Amino acid sequence: MGCPSCGARLADGTLVCTQCGTLVNAEQLNALANEAMRAEQENPYAAAQLWRRTLDFLPRDSEPYAAIHQRIGQLSAGMPADAIPPVAPPIQHRRERANDPWPLAVAKTVGSMLLSVLIYANLLPGGWRFAAGFVALMLVHEMGHVVAMWYYGLSASPPIFIPFLGALINLRQDPPNAKVEAIVGIGGPLAGTVGALICYALYHYVPALHTELMLDLAYFGFILNLFNLLPVPPLDGGRITAAVSPWIWMFGLAALVLVFLGQLFLQHTFNFVMLLILFFALPRIRATLRAHGRDNPYYRISRASSWTIAGLYVTLAAVLILATLGTQYLIHYRFGHDVGF
C-alpha cells in the first residue's frame, strides 16, 4: 500500500508512514489501543500483549512508541520475565544542536561583553574600570561552566552577557543525569570565586593595586557568586542542589520571596530581577518535583556523588559568606563607605 500523504510504498499493516510520519492506518491503531485500554482493568496480561502489537507498527523514535513502551513495562511489572515477548526500547532523539563555529562564539561573547561594559560604565557609579572588571569576573564565572561542559562533551551556546541580568549559557543538549548537571552548575561559582579571590590577592599583595577599586571588585565578585548559589532554579544553586534533592529548592524559593518582599516593603525598591527569577523558577520547580516523585532515573545518582556535591556546595557557600562579610568590613574600615547589593 502507499502513503496517502507522500506516496511512499509501505508494508501492509503499517500505521505511521516511515517517510513522512503521517498516520496511515489510524482506525487500526485506535481499535488496538481501545481494546488494550478496556483489557487493562480485568486482564493486564492481555492488555500488555495488545499494546505490544501496536509497537510493531510504530516508529521506535516516536512519542507514542515511548509512551506505550513505558505502559507495557508498568503492566508487566508483576509478571514472569518471559510473559511478554521482548520489546525493543524506544530510540530517543536528543535535541542536539552543534556548537557555533568558534569565531562566531567569540564574537557573540565579546560583543555582548563590550555592550555590557558600555552600559554599566554609564549607569553604575564605579565608572568604566569597575564595569570592565565586573564583566571580566562574570566571564570567569561563565568560563567555569564552559570548561565543565567541554569536559562532559555537552553542546551549549557561548556565554551571552545581558546588562543587569548578568550572563547566561543555554545548554543545547540535556545533561545525562543530575550529577553532570550539578558539576556543570558548580563550575561557574567555583571559577568565579577563584576570580574574586585573585582580585583580593592583588589588592593585598600588589602595592600598586592597593585600591578601593580592587577591593570593590573582590566584594562584588564574592556576592555575585554567593547569589548564584541560592538553591533555586534557574540559578546555579538550583542545578547543584537538585543532585542532592530538589526539595532543597523550597528553602531557596522562600529566601527569594523574603528578599523580594523585604526590599519592596522595607527599602521601597521593586527588584525586577528577583521577580524574573521567580517567574522562571515556579514552572521548573513544579515539573521537576513531579518527575522526581516518579523515581526518575535522571535523579538516581550514587550516594557518594550526592554527598560530594553537597559538601562542595556547603563549603563554597561558607567561603563566600565569610569573604563577602570580610571584604564588606574592609571596605568600610579602609575607605569609609558601605557597600550593599
CB within 8 Å of 88: residues ≥ 6 apart: 55, 60
Size of the site for Zn ion (CB under 5 A): 2
The stretch among 22-30, 63-71, 229-237, 256-264 that binds Zn ion (CB under 5 A) is: 229-237
Which is closer to Zn ion, CB of 216 or CB of 236? 236
Which is closer to Zn ion, CB of 14 or CB of 193? 193
Contact residue for Zn ion among 44, 166, 188, 238 (CB under 5 A): 188
The three grid cell numbers given for residue 13, joined into one nine-digit string: 499493516
Regarding 238 and contact with Zn ion (CB under 5 A), the answer is: no
Contact residue for Zn ion among 226, 236, 246, 281 (CB under 5 A): 236
Which is closer to Zn ion, CB of 132 or CB of 224? 224
Residue 289 CA to chain centroid, in angstroms? 14
Shortest spacing between CB 30 and Zn ion, in angstroms: 48
CB within 8 Å of 303: residues ≥ 6 apart: none
What does the CA dihedral 67, 72, 73, 79 come to, rounded to 10 degrees? 170
Shortest spacing between CB 185 and Zn ion, in angstroms: 7
Regarding 233 and contact with Zn ion (CB under 5 A), the answer is: no
Regarding 231 and contact with Zn ion (CB under 5 A), the answer is: no
The stretch among 31-39, 228-236, 283-291, 293-301 that binds Zn ion (CB under 5 A) is: 228-236
- Residues, the chain: 341
Q: How many C-beta atoms lie closer than 10 Å to residue 39's C-beta?
A: 18
Q: How far is CA 215 from CA 132, 209, 323, 333, in A?
A: 14, 9, 11, 12
Q: Please report, as ranges, the residues that interact with Zn ion according to CB under 5 A.
A: 188, 236
